[in-house]
Amino acid sequence: MELAKGGVRWALPVVVYVCCCLVFLLNLNSSNGVEASHNVFMHLQSLSAVNVRKEHRTGYHFQPTKHWINDPNGPMYFNGVYHLFYQYNPKGAVWGNIVWAHSVSKDLINWEKVEHAIYPSKPFDKYGCWSGSATVLPGNKPVILYTGIVDDKNSQVQNYAVPANLSDPYLREWIKPDNNPLIVSDPSINATFFRDPTTAWLGKDGHWRITIGGRRNRRGISYLYRSRDFVHWVKAKHALHTSAGTGNWECPDFFPVSVSGTNGLDTSVVGPNVKHVLKVSLDATRFEYYTLGSYEKDRYTPDPDMIDGWNGLRYDYGNFYASKSFFDPSKNRRILWGWANESDSTDKDIKKGWAGVQLIPRTLTLDPSGKQLLQWPVEEVENLRKNKVELSNKILNKGETVEIKGITAAQSDVDVTFSFGSLDKAEPFDPSWDRYDAQKLCGQKGSTVEGGLGPFGILTLASQNLEEYTPVFFRVFKDQDKYQVLMCSDASRSSASVDKTKMDDGKDAYRPSFAGFVNVDLNEKKLSLRSLIDNSVVESFGAGGKTCITSRVYPALALYGNAHLYAFNNGSETVKIDSLNAWSMSKPVKMNH
C-alpha cells in the first residue's frame, strides 16, 4: 500500500481499540543505575471516579472532565483545526486502559472533545497503544505513527493509523490498516525499549525519516529509520544520535529552528540558516533535556558547547515531561506541548478523580545567542485576559511585599519587569556548589533566606497572611568574573495544611524547590518574569522564556477568591518593579466538557 504518493484508499473497516502506555518510577538502585520501573496499579486502573473534586482543577489549562492523562500525542494543524491527542485512561484516575483521546480546537485554547482516536484490538497493539506523532503527507494526508505493544512483556512495534474520512473536519475516526506493524525491532534492539516515533521529515533524496527512542545498556539512543513510501521502513546503519549514561530515551523530538528569524520551520527544512534540536525524555530521571546542533548525512551532532546528558538544557525545570512539538503553518510557528503530572499521591488522585494536565502550548524560537531556545505561551492565551491591573516604578526595599490587587489571583497571568541599581550586592557563588544542581541551591537559598541581590519576585497562590505561598523569584550570585542568576519556583511552602484528610497534607506531597539558572545578560540591570497561575499550576517564564519552570501545588487556604498575589524582595539591594501587568484569566468557553 502506497501512503506517501497519493491514490491511497482509506476504505478499511473501522474498529474500536483500547490503548495503554506505561508510567515509570525512578529506581536508581538497579545494577546499571538507570533502570526505570513500572508504576502500575493494576487494582486501581479501572476504579472509575465517583465524584470529581473541583478544588485544584485548572480553569484554562487543558484537562478532561475526569481521570488520568499523560503524554500529548500527535499534535497537528490540519485544514484550519488543531488536533491534540493524548494518553488517557477512560476508566480511572491512575495510569491504565490507555486510549488516544482526541480533542480539536480552532485557537489552541477552546477545545472540543471528540471520539477516542485509537484503541488496542489488533495483534500489533493488543497490549497497548503508546505515544506517537502525526505527519501531514504531501496531498494533505495526515498519518499517525504510534507504538503498539504486542505481548505481556511490553515488546514494542511501530504502527500507523489514518483518518477514515478526510472530509470530516474533525477527523473523528481513525483506521489502523492491516499491513501493520510498519516497523519491528531487529536483534540489535531490545524491543522493550523501542518507542515513541517522531513526526517524519523528508530528505532531499525523497526518503522519509523518523527517529524512535530506546537504549542499549546505559546509552540512550535515537534510532533512525528511512522510507520511500512511508510503509516500508529500513533502519539506518547509524542512529540519529546516542549519548552514553543517559538511560532510556522516550519521546524524542527532532526539528529545525531558524537562526535568522523567529518563524518556526516545517520539520523537513534544512539549510544554512537552520540549526537542529534534539530533545529526549529521560525515563530514569523523569525530566527532559535538549541540545542544539547540526544535522548532516543523517547524523545529529550537538554543538560543542552543548551538554549532552543529564546536566543538559531543559525546556522546563519543573513538572514537564513527554513533550512534543509541531509546526503550525497557519502562523509559521513551532509549538511545544508538555504534560504536567500531579505532585500529590495516587491515593489523592483517586479521591480527586483526575490526574494530569497539558500545559499551555508554547511557541519555540532560537535565542539570538544561538545557545538555547526561548519559549513563550502562545499568543491566543492572551484572549482570556481580563481586569488588567498595572503597577510601575514601585520600589521594593528589603523585606517588603506589595499585594497586586484587583485580579483573581488564583487564575491569572502576570508579567513583571524588575530593575535594580547595582550588581554589587550579588552574593558570592560558592565554588563548592554544584553548578548543575540549581534545585539543590534553591532548596538552601529559598525566598526566606535573606540575600543581597534577590531573592525578589512574586508570591503566587498565597494566603492572605502568607501561611502558604509558592514564590517564583530570582537570586543573583557573583561567580568570579560573571553572574549566575538562579530562578526558583519553590513549592515547599505551597500548602499550610497538615490535615491528612485534605488534598494537600504535608506528609506525602511532593513539593520540590524547582530551579534553573538563567543565562541572561544583566547589563541593563533588569530581569523579567511571567507566570501563568491556574489554581494548582504555576507556569513561569524567566527572562523572556530563557528559563521555564512549572510547579503543581495544592494550596489549602489560597483557593479561588482567597488566593493572593504579591511581589516581594528579600535581598538587601533595593529593587524596583519597573512595570507589572496582571490579568484575571477567564475560563475558555469550550474546554472538553
Ligand X SMILES: *[C@@H]1O[C@H](CO)[C@@H](O)[C@H](O)[C@H]1NC(C)=O
Which residues are catalytically annotated?
A: 71
Selected from 354, 517, 568, 583, the binder of ligand X by CB under 6 A is: 568
Q: Minimum distance between the CB of residue 462 and ligand X, rounded to whole angstroms? A: 9
**Which one-letter amino acid corresponds to residue 71?**
D
Q: Which stretch binds ligand X (CB under 6 A): 40-48, 162-170, 412-420, 476-484?
A: 162-170
User: Cβ neighbours of residue 292 under 8 Å, at least 6 residues apart?
Assistant: 257, 275, 276, 277, 302, 303, 306, 366, 370, 371, 372, 373
**Phi/psi-derived region of residue 525, left when phi > 0, alpha when psi is between -120 and 50, beta in every other case:** left
Q: Minimum distance between the CB of residue 334 and ligand X, rounded to whole angstroms? A: 22
Q: Minimum distance between the CB of residue 214 and ligand X, rounded to whole angstroms? A: 10
Write each residue from 262 to 291 as x if it is in contact with ligand X (CB under 6 A), else as -, in one continuous string. ------------------------x-----
Task: Kindly state whether residue 444 participates in binding ligand X, applying the rule CB under 6 A.
Answer: no
Selected from 459, 488, 553, 558, the binder of ligand X by CB under 6 A is: 459
Task: Kindly state whether residue 321 participates in binding ligand X, applying the rule CB under 6 A.
Answer: yes
Task: Kindly state whether residue 450 participates in binding ligand X, applying the rule CB under 6 A.
Answer: yes
User: Among 198, 185, 251, 187, which Cα is nearest to 220's?
Assistant: 251
Can you spell out the DSSP letters for 315-383? S-SSS-EEEEEEEETTTTEEEEEEEE--SS-HHHHHHHTEE-EEPPPEEEEE-TTSSSEEEEE-GGGGG
- Cβ(135)–Cβ(108) below 8 Å: no
Selected from 2, 168, 186, 499, the binder of ligand X by CB under 6 A is: 168
Tell me the three cell numbers of residue 228. 520511500
Q: How many CB atoms lie within 10 A of CB 307?
A: 12
Nearer to ligand X, 217 or 387 (CB): 217
Task: Kindly state whether residue 570 participates in binding ligand X, applying the rule CB under 6 A.
Answer: yes
Q: Minimum distance between the CB of residue 164 and ligand X, rounded to whole angstroms? A: 7
- Cβ(551)–Cβ(493) below 8 Å: no
Nearer to ligand X, 23 or 182 (CB): 23
Write each residue from 289 to 308 as x if it is in contact with ligand X (CB under 6 A), else as -, in one continuous string. --------------------
Strands 470-479 and 482-490, by their bridges, are: antiparallel
- Cβ(446)–Cβ(513) below 8 Å: yes
Percent of the chain that is helix, strand, coil (3-state, to 5): 5, 45, 50
Tell me the three cell numbers of residue 311. 546536566
Nearer to ligand X, 286 or 530 (CB): 286
Nearer to ligand X, 241 or 511 (CB): 511
Residue 108: is it exposed, middle or buried by C-beta count within 10 angstroms (0-12/13-18/19+)? Answer: buried
Nearer to ligand X, 183 or 292 (CB): 183
Selected from 343, 528, 536, 547, the binder of ligand X by CB under 6 A is: 343
Task: Kindly state whether residue 572 participates in binding ligand X, applying the rule CB under 6 A.
Answer: no
Q: Minimum distance between the CB of residue 329 and ligand X, rounded to whole angstroms? A: 22
Task: Kindly state whether residue 27 participates in binding ligand X, applying the rule CB under 6 A.
Answer: no
Which letter, b or e, does each residue of 344-374 get, where b requires 16 or more Cβ atoms within 10 Å of its Cβ?
Answer: bebebbbbbbbbbbbbbbbbbbbbeeeebbb
- Cα gap 221→357, rounded to integer Å: 28
- Cβ(108)–Cβ(395) below 8 Å: no
- Cα gap 176→159, rounded to integer Å: 8
Q: Minimum distance between the CB of residue 366 and ligand X, rounded to whole angstroms? A: 26
Is the Cα dihedral 328, 78, 209, 221 positive or negative?
positive
Q: Which stretch binds ligand X (CB under 6 A): 144-152, 164-172, 239-247, 413-421?
A: 164-172
Task: Kindly state whether residue 510 participates in binding ligand X, applying the rule CB under 6 A.
Answer: yes
Selected from 243, 323, 341, 412, the binder of ligand X by CB under 6 A is: 341
Nearer to ligand X, 355 or 585 (CB): 355
Nearer to ligand X, 93 or 257 (CB): 93
Strands 354-355 and 67-78, by their bridges, are: parallel
Hey, which residues between 362 and 391 contact ligand X (CB under 6 A)? none
Q: Minimum distance between the CB of residue 208 and ligand X, rounded to whole angstroms? A: 27
Write each residue from 173 to 212 as x if it is in contact with ligand X (CB under 6 A), else as -, in one continuous string. -----------------x-x--------------------
Size, binding site for ligand X by CB under 6 A? 17
Give me the residues that bind ligand X (CB under 6 A), please. Answer: 165, 167-168, 190, 192, 286, 321, 341, 343, 447-448, 450, 459, 471, 510, 568, 570
